[in-house]
Structure 1
Amino acid sequence: MPPLASVLAAPGEQGRLWWRAAAEAVGGGILAVGTFAAMAGLANGFTPGLLIPLTLLALLLLVIRRRLPTVSLLGLAALLGVVPYYGLIAAVIAYTTARRLTDPRRRTLLLLGASLLTVATATVSTPYTGLGTHGYGLALGAVLAATTIGVPGLGGISAGQQDRLVTALQERTAAAEEARRLAGDASRSAERTRIAAEMHDLVGHRLSLIAVHTGGLEMALRDQEPRLRESAAHVRQAARDAMHELRQILGVLGPLSRDTGTEALTDATGTRADLEALMEESRGAGTPIELDWQGPDLDRRDAQVRRAVHRVVREALTNVHKYATGAAVTVAVTHTEDQVAVRVRNEPPDFPADRPELSTGRGLTGLRERVELLGGSLDAGVRPEGGFQVHAVMPAVPDPAETGRRPAPDAGLGSGATALSGIQHRVGSVLTALLGLAGVAVTMMLGVILVEQAKPQPVYGQPDQIRVGMSKQRVEELGYGDQDAIRAAARGREPARPADSTSCVYGFGRDEEAHTREGLFPVARYCFRDDKLIKIDHFTVPMVTEPSATDTSGGRR
């Protein structure tokens, strides 16, 4: 999300971002304090007034690492060369940056540039921060760059490649599942279309021939046999009705996205006026029907929903005509924002049919499939108090992803398993991050200890690190301080002091003269003006041997 989008985000999203930034800043502060405590023996020239602002800057770079990865990594690499205590913060930024960057060239150049920047700043800054010489800074910077930028960066590269591979595999799996579903739907639709075409060609042709020949027979018998002519008219009408019903069946067998029957879908199909027309036909056949409509009309709903409502009512009324002739019927339609419910209920017939027609159950099965394809459900059965009822409930706005396929029966279990897998993945990621930080911390500390052990120490008698311009306190730290015995031995034998000096410190000096002349020892004199070293003198003085106490035998040692 870009910075502008975060500003314009919802309040809940802004709160979440602020809480995450605060948690990361606190965590980075804990890492910095822990590293400072572990490296407390490392000499440095930082004061709290300088260290606190630098630490706040390091924490800011940690927080913005996702939005500005390049600036964050390079900025902390420069700070790391000056202040080694930010090693673990640098490791977190290097890992995150390498994991998020996808361009291999940019990623490699960035990690290499950050490593070189750490080495360069450490080499230049160590003499001024009191850590050591330029050579010591070079070694320290190389260790910090390798352990806190190089190794975490390689880990981030590996994790990023794994994330992208998993995402690609998930996308390919989803695409394969969708392709398989579409292929199944296409094959079923093609099979339905083939069946419809065969039925139309075979049965439809025969029915049309029957209607034609019966019409001719009716015309031939018009004047000769009126009674036979009436029978021929009934046969012709039955053939036409059979053709009509056949074409309606062909509409069901055709592709689900369109209706191929003679009564193709119109804007009025499934509306209140359409159902009123259906019921008026049944009233004309002697069936009392009442309509109970609750909610707005269905004229603005999806065509598939209106078609399903029409089919449910028509099939239910057809069953009433077949098996419960003359029974009172109630059609109830409840239309809300979320769903459409249709209930067709008939009372027991006053005069049961002497020879009831055998039911195949295909009509209700087809209705149930049609409703379930929309994401709804249909129940049909005998009522306890007598009669029959068909009850269908379907969504008012079908989900396009679900239309045309039935929901999986164990979808809830799949979502629960997915949630559990997500929790396990998060816990594993946290544990891996903690173990990785612990490994980086141990490796960094071992490297710093090795560099510190290899650091050149001042040689007794050869304080080569003392230079003109140093403070008196620093000279005493490197040269072991002022020696009263050496001061007394040099009195009267030392060269003249500088005229503007205010104080001098005496210590052991170079011993070239002591190797060539016996009885001499070297002296180093450091003269200061206002606590600043202005001159270093090296000279030798005779070694004076004082008599020691006599032993018990009266002789000398």
Structure 2
Amino acid sequence: MSGIAAPRPDHPSLLPALLAADAPEDRIRRSGRDWAIDVLCFVLAAGSGVFMLYVTSHPPHSMPHPPRPPDVILGSAACLLLWVRRRWPVPLALALAVTGLFSVTSIGAAAILVFTVAVHRPFRTVALVAVAHVGSSAVYTAIYPDPTQSYWVSMTWTVVLIGAVVAWGMFVRARRQLVLSLRDRAVRAESEQQLRVEQARHQERARIAREMHDVLAHRISLLSVHAGALEFRPDAPPVEIAQAAGVIRASAHQALQDLREVIGVLRDDAGDGAPERPQPSLTDLPALIDESRRAGMAVRWDNQVDDDSIVPANIGRSAYRTVQEGLTNARKHAPGAAVRVMVGGSAGSGLTVEVRNSLVKTAPEIPGAGAGLIGLTERAMLAGGRLEHGRTLQGDFRVHAWLPWPEAT
């Protein structure tokens, strides 16, 4: 007892913590397994009490013992208390340490309660409960000594048995904590995997949405140009009116088709085997420029790349979107102005894309959100390149992008 430090006055919450009931999860309704374990513990405690009663009462092992009626009553009560040991393990274990001074038949129930405390409580609490039982046994052995062995031999066996019970209980506790830790790690790993999958889906949807912004802005600007031509030239020849109406119809149909695709992608989760929508590349630039020319734009196309097909797909796609956004902005903010599109570069030196137009306004400007150039800048940075845009000293508006084009290995 002298080797255990007494609780210091600056820890007034120690005793309530020791006597507190288990956490809410310890008070869950008993399962079938819990009932089986409780019945087994009761049978073992009762059997141990009967055995000790027999050993201390019959020769040649008879020895001094407490009065039988109180001993049996206390031992029976101790066995019954095992049914609520999960809720109050520490108070019951301390109570049985006191009961052990007057009852030899409560030894089995006391050992089970010490084991329960070792399973459900931290080491400091377990050590205090174990010391209480060792002290109780020391007093009992001094009052009712065993005539077949010395006092210290009896105490040594007591300490060994209590230590074995405590060690077994703490082993069970450590194993349970390990299992719970592994289960928690598995749950967290699964949750993190689901989160990564969900983030990948959101990133893919955001990427598709940015792509569709570029496409829809381009087609709607074509609609606006042709509708404006019909509005400002109501006396145009029927052939030109029919041609403009055909372009408007085709552009509106394609815009609706693109919008239907992006809404379907953003609404539904695509399966792993779902085909991805074909993405444009540098080889699609002539078709884009021809479409703009048919819409009435004066576009000068300067292609300085020897072979468009050898440009990496991601670089070609970024170049295509840069030209598409530049042509869309020229139609919106400088309708009727001549536009120069230049693409040049080679593997190792990078790919340069430039769209330049004058700032002369000849018609009302189509409103815009200004997010296209921001998206292009982000796209270029993600690809490892850079994008600049703004007015030049010559009075033009210039979009200039440089994209890395690694050498083939």
Q: Is it true that 1:171 corresponds to 2:188 in the alignment?
A: no
Instruction: Name the structure 2 match of 1:105.
Output: 124
State whether residues 65 and 104 of structure 2, in contact with CA within 8 Å, keep that contact through their aligned partners in structure 1: no
Describe the SS at the equivalent of 1:43: coil
Instruction: Name the structure 2 match of 1:143.
Output: 157
Q: Is it true that 1:233 corresponds to 2:268 in the alignment?
A: no
Q: Please state how far the C-alpha of 1:156 moved relative to its aligned partner.
A: 0.8
Instruction: Name the structure 2 match of 1:162.
Output: 175
Cα displacement string for residues 1-59 of structure 1 (whole angstroms, at most 9, x for unaligned residues): 969989x99xx869998897666434421232244445642323455423321221221
Q: What TM-score, normalized to structure 2?
A: 0.50
- The whole-number CA distance in structure 2 between the counterparts of 1:5 and 1:156 is 21
- The whole-number CA distance in structure 1 between the counterparts of 2:169 and 2:200 is 46
Instruction: Name the structure 1 match of 2:210.
Output: 197
Distance 1:196 1:216, change over 3 A: same
Instruction: Name the structure 2 match of 1:266.
Output: none
- The whole-number CA distance in structure 1 between the counterparts of 2:48 and 2:205 is 68
Cα displacement string for residues 415-437 of structure 1 (whole angstroms, at most 9, x for unaligned residues): xxxxxxxxxxxxxxxxxxxxxxx
Q: How does 1:147-296 map to 2 (within 5 A)?
A: 147=161, 149-201=162-214, 203-219=215-231, 222-226=234-238, 228-254=240-266
Q: Please state how far the C-alpha of 1:101 moved relative to its aligned partner.
A: 0.2
Q: Please state how far the C-alpha of 1:253 moved relative to its aligned partner.
A: 3.5
Q: How does 1:488-527 map to 2 (within 5 A)?
A: none
Q: Please state how far the C-alpha of 1:160 moved relative to its aligned partner.
A: 0.8
Describe the SS at the equivalent of 1:222: coil
2:141 to 95, 106, 122: 122
- The whole-number CA distance in structure 2 between the counterparts of 1:173 and 1:195 is 33
Q: How does 1:398-477 map to 2 (within 5 A)?
A: none
Instruction: Name the structure 2 match of 1:461.
Output: none
Range with bigger deviation, 86-95 or 174-183: 86-95
- The whole-number CA distance in structure 1 between the counterparts of 2:133 and 2:85 is 14
Q: Please state how far the C-alpha of 1:98 moved relative to its aligned partner.
A: 0.7
Distance 1:29 1:217, change over 3 A: same
Q: Please state how far the C-alpha of 1:177 moved relative to its aligned partner.
A: 2.0
State whether residues 22 and 87 of structure 2, in contact with CA within 8 Å, keep that contact through their aligned partners in structure 1: yes
State whether residues 3 and 67 of structure 1, in contact with CA within 8 Å, keep that contact through their aligned partners in structure 2: yes
- The whole-number CA distance in structure 2 between the counterparts of 1:83 and 1:49 is 10
Task: Give 1:68's aligned amino acid.
Answer: W
Instruction: Name the structure 2 match of 1:52.
Output: 72
Cα displacement string for residues 233-258 of structure 1 (whole angstroms, at most 9, x for unaligned residues): 2431332343234234323444879x
Distance 1:2 1:110, change over 3 A: closer
Larger Rg: 1
State whether residues 25 and 59 of structure 1, in contact with CA within 8 Å, keep that contact through their aligned partners in structure 2: yes
Distance 1:36 1:256, change over 3 A: farther
User: Structure 1 runs of 4+ off > 6 angstroms?
Assistant: 3-6, 12-20
Task: Give 1:28's aligned amino acid.
Answer: A
Range with bigger deviation, 36-45 or 13-22: 13-22
Distance 1:150 1:34, change over 3 A: same
Describe the SS at the equivalent of 2:144: helix
Task: Give 2:169's aligned amino acid.
Answer: G
Cα displacement string for residues 461-499 of structure 1 (whole angstroms, at most 9, x for unaligned residues): xxxxxxxxxxxxxxxxxxxxxxxxxxxxxxxxxxxxxxx
Task: Give 1:222's aligned amino acid.
Answer: P
Q: Is it true that 1:25 corresponds to 2:42 in the alignment?
A: yes
Task: Give 1:156's aligned amino acid.
Answer: G
Distance 1:136 1:50, change over 3 A: farther
Task: Give 2:244's aligned amino acid.
Answer: A
Instruction: Name the structure 2 match of 1:66.
Output: 86
Instruction: Name the structure 2 match of 1:416.
Output: none
Instruction: Name the structure 1 match of 2:342.
Output: none
Q: Please state how far the C-alpha of 1:132 moved relative to its aligned partner.
A: 4.8
Quick check: which one's helix share is greater? 2
Gaps of 5+ in 1: 258-557
State whether residues 111 and 165 of structure 2, in contact with CA within 8 Å, keep that contact through their aligned partners in structure 1: yes
Higher relative contact order (CA 8 A, sep 6+): 2
State whether residues 221 and 228 of structure 1, in contact with CA within 8 Å, keep that contact through their aligned partners in structure 2: no
Gaps of 5+ in 2: 1-19, 270-409
Cα displacement string for residues 371-391 of structure 1 (whole angstroms, at most 9, x for unaligned residues): xxxxxxxxxxxxxxxxxxxxx
Cα displacement string for residues 505-548 of structure 1 (whole angstroms, at most 9, x for unaligned residues): xxxxxxxxxxxxxxxxxxxxxxxxxxxxxxxxxxxxxxxxxxxx
Distance 1:38 1:241, change over 3 A: farther
Distance 1:154 1:21, change over 3 A: closer
Distance 1:112 1:73, change over 3 A: same
Q: What TM-score, normalized to structure 1?
A: 0.38
- The whole-number CA distance in structure 2 between the counterparts of 1:91 and 1:210 is 88
CA RMSD of aligned residues (A): 3.9
Cα displacement string for residues 443-471 of structure 1 (whole angstroms, at most 9, x for unaligned residues): xxxxxxxxxxxxxxxxxxxxxxxxxxxxx
- The whole-number CA distance in structure 2 between the counterparts of 1:80 and 1:242 is 90
Distance 1:255 1:115, change over 3 A: farther
2:62 to 35, 42, 46: 42
Instruction: Name the structure 2 match of 1:92.
Output: 112
2:95 to 54, 62, 75: 75
